[in-house]
Each structure stands twice: as C-alpha cells, then as structure tokens.
Amino acid sequence: MTYVASPDRYKNMQYRRCGKSGIMLPAVSLGLWHNFGHVDVTENYRKILHLAFDSGITHFDLANNYGPPPGSAEENFGRILKEDFSSYRDEMIISSKAGYTMWDGPYGDWGSKKYLVASLDQSLKRMGLDYVDIFYHHRPDPETPLEETMAALDLIVRQGKALYVGISNYPADRAKDAIEILRKLGTPCLIHQPKYSMFERWVEGGLMDVLGAEGVGCIPFSPLAQGMLTNKYLHGIPEDSRAAKSTGFLQTSQITEKRLNEIKKLNDLAVKRGQTLAQMALSWILKDPRVTSVLIGASKPEQLADSMKCLDNTHFSSEELAHIEDILK
C-alpha cells in the first residue's frame, strides 16, 4: 500500500515561530532517539512516522548516534523517507546532530571542524538527503575553541548541507557566546535543544532568558523525564520499566519515595485538569512562550496519539502553577 498523507494534517496542530526566524515548528515534534534502530520493528516505527505526519508533526529530530546501533535511526528514517515520504520532503523539517562519540580515534567525537563536517556527510548519506534543515552541535566541547565549532556550523550552511544551525545541551553562558559568534559569522543560531522537564529545570537558571533576549528558539527534550512523568510509576516501579532494568538512562536509584510521592500528587492535579500526567507535563513546558516546540519520543503509535492531546489544554491557572511548585519544592 502506497502511503498517502492525510489531507487534514494541518488542521489540528499548532505551529509556533522559532525565535526571530522565518521558521514555524509544530508545538509537538518527534524525536527518533529510541525505537527507530535496527533492533526495533520496522512496521511499528513506520506507523509512528505516518501518524506523526498525518497529525501535522512536520519536524523529525535525529542525531548521528541514534539507534541502536548508532547510525541506524538515520538509516531507517532515510529508507522510509524514500519509500513513503519522498513527495513530502519540502513539508518537513529534518534535523541531525553531532557531538557525542560516533567512531573510534580522535576525530569521531566532540566539536572539531573535522568531526562535524565528516559526521554530517555520513548522516546525509544514511538518510539519502542533499541537506538537513537544522544541524546541531550536540554538546559543548571543553577543549575545542568555540570559534572553531561555530565556524564549522557556518561552513556547513555555506556549503548547502544545512539550512539552519542550532546548539544542544549548552549552559547559558556558553550558549550566549555561541549565539554571538554565529551572528558575527552571518549564520544566526536558530534553536537550542536542552533537557527540560518538571523534574529537571536547570534551563530556568538563565538559559531561557538568554534565548528569549537573543531571539533563539527552544525545543526541550526528555520532557517526560525518561517516563517518570507518565502513569508508569504511579504504583511503584513496574518490572518491564526502564528504571527496573537499570540498563538505560533511568536508574532505580532515581525513583525515590519522595519522587513517587511527587508523581502521585502531580497525577492527581492532571486528573483534575482532565489530562493524563504525561499530557500535563508536556502542556507545562509549552506554557512558556519562549518554547517553540517540545520533543517527544514514542514506542508505539498509541503513545504518540496520547501525548499529542497535551495541545487540548496548555493553559494553567496561577493556582495550578503554585500547586505544582508546592509539590516539587
């Protein structure tokens, strides 16, 4: 069966301007960090991608090391792009990143021009693309001069391999410096991708102010705190959860009694708002006008459909916000 996109795909999605740029992003974007690797089931992630696009999600976020194994998410996305979405390429924003370990030796990590240019060339090959819409430096490099890393991003745009550039995981002071260097080079920083959730709020200590003042978009990742801000942990730690396995980024030690208590209280508030905990956690991030979009992952289409309902209610009363702060303090 040939895929044909829903004619109503733009009716229900909200789109927000990315900083001071000409780009509008969907309020909800799809991240391909997990669930799109060679270890995953093709038909499942194909359905997730179809549902996302049919629902007005136009932004698909990847990185060189997404999988597992590293690189496989880009390969799989590229294959489905060719088979199902080739006629819709110009309706999509496709992003990739480099900054974490990708291959052996001194040129497969961090922030040198050598690594960033080579990595993007590999990413374009894997996805079968001439260019990506956004290319990010994935994390700050303490050793490479910031000028070199930003000059590499500028070069990549001038080469036509990316239309826009962004940064990810940069603290406020480094972000401000990077934004200034890029502006002087003539390739403005479009967007910043930080980790941000009700449980992880470092961005509030200056970064959001920098982005707001500089006119740079913001697209938080891990908004559900690795699944802690879902109904999964309402009754303790289930055996099949990431935390129970302690193999991934969420460890059992992070799910304390105090945390479980917070999760239950937040869930009670979500129920009063007519939302699931996950929907409320996403709405809570989108309440900030400086946030352009929120990045969500999904292991099945139903999860994605559930998360997108966060757009039905992004308003919080001052009492609700105070109550959330009270729970989290």
User: Tens digits of per-residue pLDDT, 17-30?
Assistant: 999 999 999 999 99
Is 131's pLDDT higher than 80? yes
Instruction: Say what the pLDDT of residue 238 is.
Output: 73
Q: Give the pLDDT band of residue 326 (cuts 50, 70, 90).
A: very high
Instruction: Say what the pLDDT of residue 239 is.
Output: 72
Instruction: Say what the pLDDT of residue 255 is.
Output: 82
Is 50's pLDDT higher than 90? yes
What digits encode the pLDDT tens for the residues 139-163?
999 999 999 999 999 999 999 999 9
Q: What would be the CATH architecture of the domain defined by 15-231+277-315?
A: Alpha-Beta Barrel (3.20)
DSSP state at residue 105: S
What digits encode the pLDDT tens for the residues 270-316?
999 999 999 999 999 999 999 999 999 999 999 999 999 999 999 99
Domain ranges of the chain: 15-231+277-315
More confident residue, 247 or 119: 119
Return d(Cα 92, Cα 21) in angstroms, integer: 16
Return d(Cα 88, Cα 285) in angstroms, integer: 29
Instruction: Say what the pLDDT of residue 236 is.
Output: 77
Q: Please, which residues have CB within 8 angstroms of residue 97's CB and are 6 or more apart in sequence?
A: 62, 63, 64, 135, 136, 137, 138, 168, 193
Instruction: Say what the pLDDT of residue 39 is.
Output: 97
In 3D space, the residue among 235, 238, 265 whose CA is nearest the CA of residue 250 turns out to be 238
Instruction: Say what the pLDDT of residue 237 is.
Output: 76
Return d(Cα 65, Cα 103) in angstroms, integer: 9
Is 96's pLDDT higher than 80? yes
Instruction: Say what the pLDDT of residue 241 is.
Output: 66
What digits encode the pLDDT tens for the residues 235-279?
877 776 666 665 566 666 778 899 999 999 999 999 999 999 999
What digits encode the pLDDT tens for the residues 188-233?
999 999 999 999 999 999 999 999 999 999 999 999 999 999 998 8
Specify the 3-state DSSP secondary structure of 126. helix
Mean predicted lDDT score pLDDT of the chain: 96
Is 98's pLDDT higher than 70? yes
